Structures are given as C-alpha cells and as structure tokens.
Amino acid sequence: MRLSVLHQYLLIVAISLLPFIPFFTTNDIPHTHDGPVHLARMAAYYKALTDGQILPRWAGDLNYGYGMPLFNFIYHLPYLFSSFFIFLRFSLVDTFKIVLALSFLISGVTIFAFSRAFWKDTKKAFLVTIFYQFFAPFRLVETHVRGSFGEAYTYAAFPFVLYGIVRKNIFITAVAGAFLILSHNSVSLLFFALAATFAFVTSKTWRVRVYQAGALAGALALSATYWLPAIVERKFTYGDLFMKDVFQMHFPQLYQLFIPNFTNAPTFLTEGISVQIGIFHVIALFFARDKTLWRYIILWSLIALFFMQPISSFLWRYFPILRQFQFPWRFLSIFVIMTTLASGLLMRMRVFQKPLMYCGTLALVIVSTLYFWNPPLGFDTVSDEGFYWNYPLNTTYYGETDVVWSAGPHQSYPPSPIQVASGDTIVTNIEKRSTQHTFQVSSTTESTIVDNTQYFPGWRAYVDGTQVPIEFQDINWRGLITFSVPPGQHSVRVAFGHTPVRLIANVVSVSTLLFLLLIWVKKKYFYH
C-alpha cells in the first residue's frame, strides 16, 4: 500500500517523536548540561517580549537586577518558540521539553522535504531522513545530554535552506536562511557555509549560482537585525577575552571519533560529551561516489576532522571567529550533514533496494540510538519555577555578555533600583520595566542619580523630557548609569533604545522582508 504525501510526513513525525517519549512520561525535566540556563532564559525572553521588546536585546532582571544585553548576542528562534508555549500557559519545564522535541520533529519534516525534492525518490528520501534523525548519535546528545536549544534548531532550519536551494525558490531560501542564522550564533555559520557551497556545486549554470547567492544574501539581510549589532557591539563585552582559551580543553581524541559508543561510556567522552562520528559513518562516506556530491562531502568532512584535532590549534588561537564556536567538537555537526547526504547514495547498491534489507537498515539505524532515548543523566525535579522567573545570575558560562565597563557579574541585588550618589534628594514613584525606568526626583541641590542598571550603548536618560549626559565610568559606581539632575521637582526617564548600527540593521531587515513579501505576492520567486 502506497502512502499519500501527507501520511508520509505524519509517519516521519511519529518516528521522530519516539526518542522523546520518555520526556513526557514524567513531570520532571531531563538533566542536561544547559537545561537550567534555558529555563531562566525562556523566562527572561518572555518577560522582555511582554515588556514591548519586539526582538528582545536586554534582559532586565538577570545579573541580580542590574540587567545585561544577553539577547543582543544570543540566538532568538528557540526562545520565540518557547514564548509561544509560555503564552499558552505551559510551565517552563513543559515548554523546555516541548520546544526541544519540536526541533526534532521539524527537522524530520524539513529533511524529508529536501530529500524528496533533491533525489525525487520517496524510498531514498525516507532512508535519508532516518539517517539524519538517528544515524548520528550526536543529534540526540544535543537534545538529551546537552539540552542545546539553539543547535537543535539549526538541524531543523538547515534542510529547509537546502530545500529552497533545490527548488530554486528565492523566498524559501532567504526565509529559511534567516531562521537558520537566528537558531544559533556559531553553528549557524557552519551550516550557512555548507548551504552556500551546496548551492554552488549543485547549480548547473552561473546564472543560477548568481540567483542562489542573491537568495542567501537575502537571508543575511533579513536576519541583519540580529547578527549585525551582535558583531559590531561585541567589542563592548568580555567575550573574546574570557573565551580565548576555552577551545584547548575540547579537542576529542581521534579514536573517540570513530569507535561506536552506544552506551555513552566515559572512556569515549570528551569533557562529558559523546563525540563519535562512528565507523559506520565513514563507510557511508565511502559510498558517496557521486560526481556532484563526492568532492563536496569529502572536502567538508576533512575540514571538520581537521578543526577537531589539536593540529588546528594555531588557527583557533589566531582567528577570533573560530573561538566563537567554543568547542572544536561542534564541528561534528558537519559530519551529521555529510553522512546524511552520503546515505542517499546507498540506494544505488542493489542490496539496499531489496525490501528486507531496506526495512532492516531503517530499523537498525533507529534502534542504534536507543540508549540515548532515555536521558542518560536522568531527570531532575523543579519544585519552584519562580526561581527561574526571578533568576539572579547571568546565564552565560564564559562572560560572553559581561560589559567591559563593569567589574564582571554582580554578586547581590542593589539596595534600591535607584540611588542618590550625591545631593539632598528624594526619589519617589519608581516604576521599572526591562527597557524603561521612570521616577520622580525632588531635590534642593544639584544631585547625582544612580540607576542600578549595567550601562550598555543604547541607554539614555531624560529629565523632564530632555536628554542628559550619562556617566558610566564613575569609579564608585563602575559600569552603572549615573547622571546629574538640577534642583527642583523633576520627572526622570531612563530608556534603552537603538544605536546607529541597530537602527541600520532594523531598516535592512524590514526592507528585505517587504521585498521578499513583494516577490512572494507576485509569484516570481522561481529561477531557472
């Protein structure tokens, strides 16, 4: 019996859900490396949205209430999804589990759509999809061990980009590419490079290559509101300083990459991470003898292997962009893609065309990751989600978003949101939202006011509607917003707004969105 296209997709979704069934048999949260951090970020992101930040940049309650520009630098897409479920009144724990599982379901749908379009063979597309979802244990390590929100969504967005490229659809390529960039701030760079080179090697004419480049440029322009300020304003943080040597501890041993580790044995872990490529993956690469894909697959596989070995240390040390990846084993994500593409060529072998061998291969690939279906680190009980709604820390590990004018993360809450540094002054009617603070000042002398908020470009102070200069390097109030107020009764507003680069980025993104919508409406987004 042949399944309809709809039923094929439903079957993919059902199979993709299997590894996440244990998530939903308990009220507890899977114990993952980043789980608690994401609970706090989800809460902070949702509060920022409800405070009126269309694309949040500032997390006002983190860092003991001093705030931080967290969302100016980290990815947005997973937290946009999480905000939707929080809006529907799901708990933080349930939202975390749903959003992680959803990334896997979406990746199943997008890789199947791409595979059907690229190989034009449903059986081959189904095989490729199962390989993508289950063949590389690193996929489930990302969700069940690391709890990596952003990287999970890069696997969902990337096949959608390839689908747009194969369909020669400018609109889909640009939108999917923007989603990819918004999924993660480093792995998305790898996948974007993979997409660009895939478009180049699979395009038959230079005219098509130019259009493909235009579509990918559209993805960059559409997502500029995120990545452009993140790059330009990174110099105002400690990120490069604190992360410069992190990579040195995360080079996997060569044997750890190739020996199967079906039970997550510690011997084959790198800093607690299962980093296997697997010997079967190498065999799959051997079969990738396709004129179009062979060089592409082998070249990127060798690049990934090189950057995961200590021999590449000199490049990690001298090129800051590499240090944004933090961990060399993140290049394993390239092998997930390459072995997936190679698996599509297995159907050229007669043995895999036999129904028994075909079905047996699918079943074997699915059950090969069975150990990871139940989170290897177990589950934790979250008895008080209020802690994460009022999380005091900064949710980063290496000071990526600590502002250079501060003395590092704060260690306690301030005595008051607004303080008087000097002058005979009374402050009343304090109202604080994430990006806007208002209060009344009554003073008999000129006074210096301290807003206990970490300064970052974009913060401005207004006294009776008139902007006044901000000082943020006072040795007694290091990195905090301080400004002078004249004698008398005054209304004060301190607000976080645009900088020139943010304004330019927003204009570029909005203009690109309008242009793409115009293309879509006019139905002229196919090129040949």
The residue extents of the domains of the chain are 28-375, 418-497
In this structure, the number of other CB atoms found within 10 A of the CB of residue 378 comes to: 9
Is 500:233 a contact under the CB 8 Å cutoff?
no
Is 451:461 a contact under the CB 8 Å cutoff?
yes
Structure tokens at 310: 């200590």
- How far, in Å, CA of 100 to CA of 420, rounded? 46
Measured in whole angstroms, the distance separating CA 244 from the mean position of its chain's CA atoms is: 20
- How far, in Å, CA of 251 to CA of 40, rounded? 29
Residue owning tokens 């259009």: 211
Is 309:248 a contact under the CB 8 Å cutoff?
no
| Predicted local distance difference test score (pLDDT) of residue 389 | 97
| Predicted local distance difference test score (pLDDT) of residue 475 | 87
Residue 354 per-residue DSSP state: S
Taking only the tens place, the pLDDT of each residue in 322-351 is 877 778 878 888 888 888 888 877 777 777
- How far, in Å, CA of 501 to CA of 275, rounded? 38
| Predicted local distance difference test score (pLDDT) of residue 467 | 97
- How far, in Å, CA of 99 to CA of 5, rounded? 25
Residue 278 per-residue DSSP state: -
- How far, in Å, CA of 309 to CA of 303, rounded? 10
| Predicted local distance difference test score (pLDDT) of residue 268 | 47
Positive or negative, the CA dihedral 339, 187, 56, 503 is negative
Is 22:135 a contact under the CB 8 Å cutoff?
no
With a threshold of 0.85, does the pTM exceed it? yes
Name 165's bridge partners. Answer: none
Is 235:522 a contact under the CB 8 Å cutoff?
no
Taking CA atoms, 90 is separated from 10, 99, 253, 523, in Å, by: 24, 11, 42, 38
Residue owning tokens 């203009």: 511
Residue owning tokens 């010997």: 279
The full DSSP string for 105-159 is: HHHHHHHHHHHHHHH--HHHHHHHHHIIIIISTHHHIIIIII--HHHHHHHHHHH
- How far, in Å, CA of 306 to CA of 300, rounded? 10
Name 494's bridge partners. Answer: 437, 461
Is 372:141 a contact under the CB 8 Å cutoff?
yes
Helices in 344-418 by DSSP H: which ranges?
A: 350-353, 355-367, 370-373, 386-389
Is 483:448 a contact under the CB 8 Å cutoff?
yes
Longest dimension (CA), the chain: 91
Residues of the chain with confidence (pLDDT) below 50: 268, 270
- How far, in Å, CA of 469 to CA of 515, rounded? 39
By the 10 Å C-beta count (0-12 exposed, 13-18 middle, 19+ buried), 200 is classed as: middle
Taking CA atoms, 24 is separated from 13, 117, 156, in Å, by: 16, 33, 21
Domain 418-497 has CATH 2.60.40: yes
